[in-house]
Amino acid sequence: MNLSVIGTGYVGLVTGACFAKLGHHVICVDIDKEKIRKINDGVSPIFEEGLDSLLLTYKDEINATTDYSTALQKSDITFLCVGTSSLKNGKIDLTFIKESTKQVAAVLKNKNSYHLVVVKSTVLPGTTQGVVLPLLEQYSDKKVGIDIGLAMNPEFLKEGVAIQDFLEPDRIVIGSYDDRSKTTLRELYKDFSCPLVETSLSAAEMIKYASNAFLATKISFINEIGNLCKKLGIDTYDVATGMGLDTRIGRSFLDSGIGWGGSCFPKDVDALIVWAKEIKEGARIIKSARDVNTDQPLRLIEILKKHIPKLKGKTIGILGLSFKPNTDDIRESRATPIIKELLKNGVHVKAYDPQAMVKFKQLYPQIEYCSKASEVLNSDATLITTKWKEFTTLDYHGKIVIDGRRLNEAKTAKKYEGVCW
């Protein structure tokens, strides 16, 4: 099929590259000219395992442009994959969704054949029908359900393993406005072996929010259990193993530590809480999950202060700046509140990350960036904030290490303490 993808971030570019691998022709659109140039050169503008090689291998099947018209005229299905970050008050920001929808609709006005628009960005229940649909009709002078198809197809990939997640998902959710949209997407996904869940537009939107809120809550839950275990001298990871073997619970997302970050959980949880309030419902469990997550990284500093009571003037090392390993994404990284707190305490911060230092330096130029992980260990104490594999090979002997991510190899340190074990 001929597809276009609007927005070439972690979701859009992975979607485009994977569909190209599956034999489709894909045109990617972005407003960022530099990203477009790189993609056309077969280079990924973001760090995601395997993406560079997909872009090079399928160079002839993927084109990138800033021009909506070329992309829409040459494709039959368009995926909207633009960002939906949060505003300062936690509300979802629909600016990019509205802008890209208007641009898509303006091109569809002059297109004679049927075109399916698929929202892949994470949007609150009611958005596809209540915001995207009216804009499509207004700017195209056409009717959704007749001339234009409309569907909502949330994405569940995880950064770091995004390509594998896209190609081998646990499920594919297709929310559709009309039957033709549903059958078109069914055809597109026909070679996937996972269950296809076909729903209304708003159920598809809610599945995404409910899944993210549940996973965030699961992590906060085990962190709360971890905090109790630490007080009682119980190994939280033994508890997680014992709990996780119960098939109703499952072991994944039971690794206690300093909490969740990234581009999705924090903003989706915030948006759900604000939206729940707007429709006069509570979101008490989800709010508590967020509260636990706000406090959790600062526990690392509390533990550090036990070992070094006066932090002023000390040098503290930070291992890991990305919000999780195998990505350069630093959005809502747990290292951020920790570094802010250290700076407030008059600490000299030395940091290293295999992929995220360039992005982090733009926001925090005042800290020292090391060229090797081992240099970080030449500090008064080191905090482990991201579980990069590279950190397993360091020599921790003789060091003070406070671990937020359960790196077993660091237990050889002179003084080692985990955040909740």
Ligand X SMILES: NC(=O)c1ccc[n+]([C@@H]2O[C@H](COP(=O)([O-])OP(=O)(O)OC[C@H]3O[C@@H](n4cnc5c(N)ncnc54)[C@H](O)[C@@H]3O)[C@@H](O)[C@H]2O)c1
Q: Using CB under 6 A, which of 4, 8, 355, 385 touches ligand X?
A: 8
The Cα–Cα gap between 318 and 370 comes to 10
Q: What is the smallest separation between the CB atom of 51 and ligand X, expressed in angstroms?
A: 12
For residue 6, CA distances in Å to 56, 317, 348 come to 20, 40, 42
Q: Which of residues 131-160 bind ligand X (CB under 6 A)?
A: 155, 157, 159
- Please list, in sequence order, all residues whose beta carbon lies within 8 angstroms of the beta carbon of residue 26, skipping any fewer than 6 positions away: 3, 4, 5, 16, 17, 19, 20, 61, 62, 63
Handedness of CA 134, 137, 143, 149 (dihedral sign): negative
Count residues contacting ligand X (CB under 6 A)? 26
| Only segment of 10-18, 129-137, 244-252, 283-291 that touches ligand X (CB under 6 A) | 10-18
263 is a contact residue toward ligand X (CB under 6 A): yes
Q: Is 82 in the site for ligand X (CB under 6 A)?
A: yes
For ligand X, which is the closer residue by CB, 29 or 213? 29
**Residue 81 binds to ligand X (criterion: CB under 6 A):** yes
* Nearer CB in complex with ligand X: 146/363: 363
Integer angstrom CA distances of residue 32 from 64, 96, 121: 11, 13, 18
**C-beta of 32 vs 291, nearer to ligand X:** 32
Q: Which residue in the set 12, 266, 317, 337 belongs to the binding site for ligand X (CB under 6 A)?
A: 12
CA 331 distance to own-chain centroid: 8
Which stretch, 27-35, 109-117, 139-147, 174-182, contacts ligand X (CB under 6 A)? 27-35
If binding is defined by CB under 6 A, does position 296 make contact with ligand X? no
By CB under 6 A, tell whether 84 contacts ligand X.
yes
**Out of 5, 20, 28, 29, the residue judged to bind ligand X by CB under 6 A:** 29
Tell me if 101 contacts ligand X by CB under 6 A. no
| Contact flag: residue 209 with ligand X (CB under 6 A) | no
- Work out whether 35 is an interface residue with ligand X (CB under 6 A): yes
- If the CB atoms of residues 32 and 168 are measured against ligand X, the closer one turns out to be 32
205 lies in the site for ligand X, by CB under 6 A: no
* 18 is known as an active-site residue: no
Burial label for 312, CB within 10 Å (0-12, 13-18, 19+), is exposed
Residue 10 interacting with ligand X (CB under 6 A): yes
Residue 19 binds to ligand X (criterion: CB under 6 A): no
Whichever of 83 and 418 has its CB closer to ligand X, that residue is: 83
**Angle at which helices 298-307 and 335-344 cross, to 10°:** 50
Q: Which long-range contacts (CB under 8 A, 24 or more apart) does 300-306 make?
A: 300/258, 300/338, 300/383, 300/385, 300/402, 300/404, 300/419, 301/338, 301/341, 301/342, 301/345, 303/402, 303/417, 303/419, 304/381, 304/383, 304/402, 306/417
From 45, 113, 46, 54, select the one nearest 78 (Cα to Cα). Answer: 113
Distance CA 408, CA 229 (A): 18
Interface with ligand X, residue 403, by CB under 6 A: no
From the list 229, 264, 370, 420, the catalytic residue is 264
Backbone Cα Rg of the chain: 23
Among residues 108, 264, 304, 319, the one that binds ligand X under rule CB under 6 A: 264
User: Measured from the CB atom, is 100 or 184 closer to ligand X?
Assistant: 100
Strands (E), 108-232: 115-119, 148-152, 172-176, 196-199
Query: Smallest gap, in angstroms, from Cβ of residue 26 to ligand X?
Result: 15
Q: Pick from 102, 71, 50: which is nearest to 2 by CA? A: 71
Residue ranges in contact with ligand X by CB under 6 A: 6-12, 29-32, 35, 81-84, 96, 99-100, 121-122, 155, 157, 159, 263-264
Q: Which residues are catalytic, by number?
A: 264
